[in-house]
Amino acid sequence: MGKQLIIVESPAKVKTISKFLGKDFDVRASVGHVRDLPSNSLGVDEAQNFAPHYEVIENKRNVVSDLRAAASRAATVYLAPDPDREGEAIAWHVAQLIHDQARDIKRIQFNEITERAVKDALAHPRELNENLFEAQQARRILDRLVGYKISPLLWKTVKRGISAGRVQSVALRLIVERELEREAFVAEEYWPFHALLAAGVPPEFKAELWKIDGKKAEIHNAEDAENFEARIKGLPFTVESVEKKKRNRPPSPPFITSTLQQAANQRHSYTARRTMQIAQKLYEGLELGDRGLTALITYMRTDSTRIADEARDAASKFVEENFGKDYLPPKPRIYKAKGGAQDAHEAIRPVDVTLTPDEVKQYLSPEQYNLYRLIWSRFVASQMACAIFDDTACVIGCGPSQWKARGEHLVFPGFLAAMPKSREEQDLELPPLENGQVLDLKKIIKDQKFTQPPARYSEASLVKSLEELGIGRPSTYAAIISTLQDREYVRIEDKRLAPTDLGRVVCNQLVEHFGRLMDVGFTATMEEGLDKVAEGGENWVELLNGFTSHFNPSLEAAAKNMRSVKGGMDSGLPCPECGKPTVIKFGKAGAFLACSGYPDCHYAASISTGVTCPACGEGQLVEKSTRKGKIFYSCDKYPKCDFALWQKPVPKPCPRCGSAWLVEKKGRNGTILACPTTGCDYTEEPKDDE
């Protein structure tokens, strides 16, 4: 009898698994997908119940040959791609390619790459799950139908080489509509007031203006601010009420894919794609000195907060031994998955909770350490007691006004003892206060503010919205965002996703002609349909028939009615050479201005920021990008003038020094406008800031 053959996805897993299975097992990798729909044709026969035509991927022919040869020598073949629908599809395709060589084919899956988990999977093999495969196949065919049939319309009407995606296009719509909200936003002036007060003993504290004459305080201009300040001048600040209560703050559940991507983006500015790349390494295994190749976390594509009983017990034991019995909750914490979650796998957690981040830090890259620390801390904290705070709420009267002050004091850290410290965990204490107590006013602090438009999506907030709206699944979030950037439909500005002119045009074309496809609710319904296919509750062919019954008529209408913008969109600017209107066109390097009088006039230029070059005084500062897509601004007279800068120039004069322009810079609370002149420290918050 031959060896037992195990086929995994990643070559990195081969080393980890081979280490503890020994010489009786031959572990090989498919290196991802081995078959797919053809790259040069639709590959789907709609007339024959959407029968797909699969081909071996060109650069996988040698891999397939090796797997077939290994299967012919094996007593049993265990297919062990990742434990999700895509992994099931890979297993299915491998099985189809080796079935005539293999004696016996089984499917195994494990949520963590440990000796215990792998051997347990080998002891409990199963048959391939046809429902999971068909759900993934239906998704692939849906995406192929949309991309292959809509993209040529976009080539014809917008720009050759661009494409549409079923889920990515809906995500693009969210980003574009948020930008439209920002542009339509009208800022309103308001003046918040704070009083810095003292009670005879430290600390001094701030109280915020709450009510004036019994109504919510609303001060909209400088005149009203001065009038109010005059009304309270010289009047005492007296404590009217003090309310104290204890507050229990429970820990968050362990990470799922979306919350891990959000936390990594918020704390470390990692993109969703980068987060998943780092997590993949932690899952597959890293060299840890004497421990050798060791997997650190469980599978990282999951929408379930469930954890195994033995993992929960191990966490409780670790907490008791390292923090004390008081840090355990009254009973073990069990987290339920949200409605709509597939709940196929555990939450993301450390494989061995006793392997602390500091213990393995020397073997990890900074990024790997940061992510492992996030996952480990969140998991340990999820099995700990609540943090306990003493909260104080105080109402203070001053003439016609009432002011509010709040304080909190951490009484018992609970789960916070296991979490990386942040500014959020700092005490905001009030001094001892009593009803009727007169406070000493140190100063009145008033500020001119303007209401802000809704913020652009960050990667974290977009992932959160996609999850809440039911768009995509854990394995797709990173791909959605990276695809939008790769297609140059969005770009990163101040760590936020901003639509490009090309992205706006594509979105407008799709919304106008494929309203149902671009509808958020419809996309979520399709995801639910795919879930039902995976559960065996819906036939995949019927699902596709339902989709094409609406999609095909829209496609026919769009082919007749989609308006071409290849001639350019009106820019509202005259041509500096002939005076005719200029238009915005899309080229290989992005959007640019061109004269509508072409070919009589050949004027073309990058889109100007409206700021004259401060170096030569002749050119305009225009937006450009590096090879890696990073935006910068330079003179359009290059190479005659090589002036360039990273900050976005804004055609607004500095009121302090007279500079003809300002630049956007990142401040503590977001983007600010600042004077670029050396020695001038003028700054302001732009009214359209996020």
Residues annotated as part of the active site:
299
> Phi/psi class of residue 403: alpha, beta or left (left: φ > 0; alpha: ψ in -120 to 50)?
beta
Give the whole-angstrom CA distance, residue 65 versus residue 117: 29
Here the tokens at position 63 are 């891999």
Residue found by looking up tokens 């009047």 in the block: 235
Angle, vertex CA 599, rays to CA 598 and CA 601, nearest 5: 60
Here the tokens at position 497 are 């996703």
Give the whole-angstrom CA distance, residue 454 versus residue 668: 18
Give the whole-angstrom CA distance, residue 669 versus residue 445: 18
Cβ count near 103 (within 10 Å): 13
Give the whole-angstrom CA distance, residue 37 versus residue 56: 9
Radius of gyration for the alpha carbons in the chain, expressed in angstroms and rounded: 30
Write out the DSSP string of 284-328.
Answer: H-EE-GGG-EE--B--S--------HHHHHHHHHHHHHHT-GGGS
Give the whole-angstrom CA distance, residue 643 versus residue 661: 15
682 burial (CB, 10 Å; 0-12 / 13-18 / 19+) is middle
Give the whole-angstrom CA distance, residue 20 versus residue 116: 10
Instruction: Report the SS3 class of residue 494.
Output: coil
* Residue 279 phi, psi dihedral angles, 5° rounding: -60, -35
* Residue 662 phi, psi dihedral angles, 5° rounding: -120, 170
Find the helix packing angle between 309-322 and 366-382, rounded to 10°: 90
End-to-end CA distance of the chain: 67
